[in-house]
Amino acid sequence: MGFSPFGGFGGGMFSIVPVIVGIGFVFVFGMIIVQAMQGIGQWRRNNASPILTVDAKVSSKRTDVSYHHHHDAAINHVHHTSHTTYYATFEVPSGDRMEFVVSGPEYGILSEQDVGKLTFQGTRYLKFERRAMVQ
């Protein structure tokens, strides 16, 4: 065994790299499978849940914006995209709060402190019917 600039590892350092890359690939692929299975499980639980309509108040709203940068080296172009997820939190008479993902148009219509009927199925938001304010 001769001199190696890698501190004595010699060729062994380069033979382990494919193993590490393979383990990383299996880990990432496994995480994708786990996430997909959890999503399918939640979808099935929602479908099996009853559709409930309860009195509720819009207690808060929030957004989550994620940004993505894509670089196309072939044409030296960077493309930026973003995705916004809209959330509304509803409070029921017992004081419990439930947060749901809502669509952008629905988010725009909802106002904090609105009172009405919330309809949902499991973790799936279906609709909110605002109670008319008496003046």
pLDDT digits (tens, 9 = 90+) for 53-105: 999 999 999 999 999 887 777 777 788 899 999 999 999 999 999 999 999 99
Would the pTM of this model clear 0.85, i.e. be above it?
Answer: no
Is pLDDT larger for residue 98 or for residue 1?
A: 98
- For residue 96, give the amino acid letter: D
Structural tokens at position 1: 């065994």
pLDDT one-digit tens code per residue, 61-75 = 999 999 988 777 777
Mean pLDDT of 118-129: 95
* 3-class state of residue 120 by DSSP: strand
Q: How crowded is residue 48: how many other Cβ atoms within 10 Å of its Cβ?
A: 9
pLDDT of the residue at 11: 57
Distance between CA atoms of residues 33 and 31, nearest Å = 5
